[in-house]
Each structure stands twice: as structure tokens, then as C-alpha cells.
A and B are shown apart, each in its own frame.
Chain A
Amino acid sequence: MPDPVLNIDALDAHYGDFQALHGVTMQVTAGEVLALIGANGAGKTTLLRAVAGLLRSRSGAILWQGRPIGALRADQIAALGIAMVPEGRLLFDSLTVEENLIIGGQLGRRGPWTLERVQTLFPILRERRHFPANALSGGQQQMVAIGRALMANPELILMDEISLGLAPVVIRQIYDALPAIVAEGLTAIIVEQDITRALSVSHRIYCLQEGRVALTGPSVDVTRDAIARAYFGV
């Protein structure tokens, strides 16, 4: 296996007295699409928040391209090429659709993604560019959230439940855009509740259970039985 770009080593995370992650260890190689699955409260979102810097951790617990980033602020980590599509989209309501995209690219990192390309990927975002972000439908808002992250020209994109609360036809539309996104050599970690979809879009999966890694392996090899056991700990 080639050297990992992201190396998570015995990561713990706490919310007050509650420990959400217990010594999670994970490697991600460049260009890989990794699916993160697990029951509600297993720690998937916490893990993404820690990588993105919204949750500070031990400096050496997270290595990005060999550099310890665990103790950095989210804006510093963003500048190093990690972008996140947060659960629930969380757009800026005071900004128009286009402004939401522009602010995603405000660090000025060079790369394939421009306003033009994001609007070509999701044409509705060009059509509605002057709308307030909260005037869009849920699926369109999700497109803005993904576009906003792409505008940063990241090397690693973290996607937290991008299908949450969307109609099946809209989910398919969004996942149809995924190959075009990762074709650029982007590394991705995707949190997804739909196991079938998670397996079909990813190279490898990690299953978390109560803050620990319960199962990992290539997506084509893991069996339904193994996943069920890892999910529920039976």
C-alpha cells in the first residue's frame, strides 16, 4: 500500500465528559474514496469534525501529508487543502447562492474548480445564482454545499451525510456527480447511511461502533454479515 496522505493515529475525542472516539486509527491514501459507516452516535461526524479542525485534538493524532494538524484551527487546516461538506448543509443564509460558492474559494487555492465549473456541474446553481441560499430546495442547497467545498480546490473532501433528508431522485442526481468530482484525483471520506450506496461509491469502508473502528476492508470484499456484526456489535 502506498504512503497514506491522511494518517489518524489513536485519536480520542470528547464532548465534555462524554468520550465520542476511542483510539481511532485510520489511513487514507491519495485518490481513494473511503466510506465511513456506522449507527447513529457511532462517532462518524465527530471523526470528520476532528479532521476538519472544528474539534481540536492531540497534535500528532492526525497527520496530513506527514504534517501534524490535530491542534490546528479549522481555517489553518482549510488552507492545507481539506474541505468539508457539513451534515445539514449549513449554508450562509445572508449570502446569495453565488456568494456562498465564492466564499468557499476565498482562500484562493489553485486547482481545477472554478465558479464556472461548479455551475456547469450543477447548472441550477447558475440559474439561481442571485437567490438567497435558504430560498433553494434541500437538494439544491446540498449542491451549493458541495460546490462551496469544491471551490476551495481541496485535496481531501469530507462529506457528511449528503443524502440526509433528500428525495431518492435528488440523492441519485447528487451521487451521479460524484465520479466527476473524484475523477480530479481528489481524496474523499464519505459518511453515508445507505450501506449499498456507500459500498458502491467507495474503494474501502470503515465501520465505527461506539467510537471504535469495528470493521475495515475493501468495499468489494466486505460481506453483509460482517457489516451487520460491526454495526450492532453482535
Chain B
Amino acid sequence: MEWINAIAQGVLLGGLYALFAAGLSLIFGIMRLVNIAHGDLIVLSAYVALTVTLALGLHPLLALVLVVPGMALFGYALQRLILNRAMGEDILPPLLVTFGLSVIIQNALLTGYSADPQKLDAGWIETASVQAGPLVLGVMPLLVFACAVAVIGALQWMFYRTALGRAFRATSDRQDIAQLMGLNRAHVFAMAMALCLAVTALAGVFLGIRTAFDPAGGSARLIYGFEAVIIGGLGNLWGTLAGGVILGVAQTVGATIHPGFQVLAGHLVFLAILAVRPRGLFPRREE
């Protein structure tokens, strides 16, 4: 029973990890950009939500109405004004820029909010639970998982059924020819980053409701996000959800064996999968 419970909790936790990973996967898929600052942007979103809830007295989930578009706008500007200038044949310069961005965000948060851990107060919903047969599942983790499935589904639909998705795929295939079709690469990339940070904002708020966060917390989130993307296979969004779930289950099962084993168990499963399937479980295409 204890094990079934651990697996169920792990699956739900995987939803949060999939949300960490979705933006990362999107950005790498469209513009081959490895965003080292991704974890810090998740934490930044949590702090932005904290500020909004304190200033306006809003519930954190209601604050999403402001935080999601706010972060999307920030993403557009970030890509257009900074990252696009570093993009080119070589993938190293933009990677270094995001590394610098990571350091800047951490230190700015440290200056603005101190190193004290903070938390978003979501009230009764944090402790609410539902009985599902022999299992007791938290309402909040269920909500996060449902959001993750909805977000991945929506991204998948956007990618394969809309003009924006077509522009993303075309630009990812051949940047210069896409430009000939009248697609301005700078704008297409900025739209991708806006979308990425909108998802990141959602992930940041859920993170802040689930656990305490501090300015240095970004790197762990980046690692979980990377692991979910790699386990699932690059360029496959549903694979990313599966990757998040596998990582989540590994962690909760590890914690059931021994509480100190939680994070390590996740990394070990990641390494094992990487050793057996270097391209992840569900790579988009065989090349």
C-alpha cells in the first residue's frame, strides 16, 4: 500500500516536473538554445507571484492572471533585446549569455528579497485532499498534474495545428528559407520565448505553493527539467510528460526506501535510462 501511494504521489509530482521541462523542451526544439537560466526564471516567476499576491492581496492562483502574461512579455523582450543578438551558427554564445543571466537573476533576487525562504500562501487548498479508493490524493497535486496534461496537450495542438506552430516548425527546419516566406526569425524566436516563459510562470507559481523557495533554488529545477526532457526524448512533448512522471516516481519511491534517498534516486534512474537509451525513451525521429 505504501508503495502504491508513493507511485501515485510520484506521478502527480511528475506533472510539476513536466511543467518545469516543457518550456526548456520548446526552446531547444525551436531554436537549439540551451537555456541555463530556465530554473532561475521559474524561481523568478515565484517571486513575481509573491510580490503580486502581497501587493494586491490576491490568491496565488488568481495572481496567475497577471504573472503569466507578465512573464510572457518579459520573455519576448528578453529574446528580442538580448538573446537574439547572440544567436547564430554556434550554439555556445547564447548558452553563455543564459549562464550570465542565471547569475544576474539569482543575485538580483538575493538583493531584492534576501536569502530567506519564501512561500506562496494558497490557504485551504494546500491541505485539501480527496479519497480515491485506498489512496489519499492532495487537491493541489491533482490540479498541478491536470494543468500539466492540459499545457502539454495545448502546446502539442499549437505546434501541429496552428499558423504559429507551423512558423515554429518551419523556422526550426530552415531559418533562412523561413525568412524568405516572410517569417522574421527574430519575432518567431521571441514568440517562442514568450510562450516558454508563460509556461514557466505557471510552473513557478505551483512550485511556490508546493514548497518554500529561495534565490538559489533555480539550479535544482533546471536539473529536474533537463532530466525530464532527456528521459522523454528531445523534441517530444508527451515524452517530456512521461519523463517528468518517471522522475517523480523515482524520487517518491526513493524517499519511501529512505528519506535521504529521494533526490539521488531520481538522478540514478536518469543515468540508468541515459545509459540504455542515450536518445531518451521516445525520441521524435530516428536520425
Contact = CB atoms under 8 A, between A and B. Distances in A.
B56 interface: no
B180 A78 contact: yes
A24 to B, nearest CB: 21
A90 B184 contact: no
A74 B169 contact: no
A137 B167 CA distance: 24
Q: Interface size bucket, A side?
A: 20 to 34
A124 B167 CA distance: 24
Given A75-B185, A95-B169, 11 more contacts: A73-B179, A75-B179, A90-B174, A92-B169, A92-B173, A102-B166, A103-B166, A104-B181, A106-B167, A106-B183, A107-B182
A102 B173 CA distance: 16
A90 B184 CA distance: 18
Contacts of A95: 166, 169-170, 173
Interface residues of B, number: 18
* Among all A-B residue pairs, the 9 with the closest Cβ atoms: A107-B182, A74-B179, A78-B182, A94-B169, A92-B173, A75-B184, A92-B170, A75-B182, A90-B177
Interface of A: 52-54, 73-75, 78-79, 83-84, 86, 90, 92-95, 99, 102-104, 106-107, 148, 152
Contacts, number: 64
Interface of B: 163, 166-167, 169-170, 172-174, 176-185
23 contacts: A52-B180, A53-B179, A74-B176, A74-B179, A75-B180, A75-B184, A75-B185, A78-B180, A90-B174, A92-B174, A92-B178, A93-B173, A94-B170, A94-B173, A95-B173, A103-B167, A103-B183, A106-B163, A106-B166, A106-B167, A148-B181, A152-B181, A152-B182
Given A90-B174, A92-B174, A106-B163, A83 B169 contact: no
Contacts of A104: 181
A95 B181 CA distance: 14
Contacts of B172: 94
A53 B170 CA distance: 18
A92 B165 CA distance: 13
Contacts of B183: 75, 103, 106
A92 B167 CA distance: 10
A126 B37 CA distance: 45
B220 to A, nearest CB: 33
Contact of A73 (B163, B169, B184): B184
A8 to B, nearest CB: 19
Contacts of B177: 86, 90, 92
Contacts of B170: 92, 94-95, 103
A79 B174 CA distance: 19
B168 to A, nearest CB: 9
B176 A103 contact: no
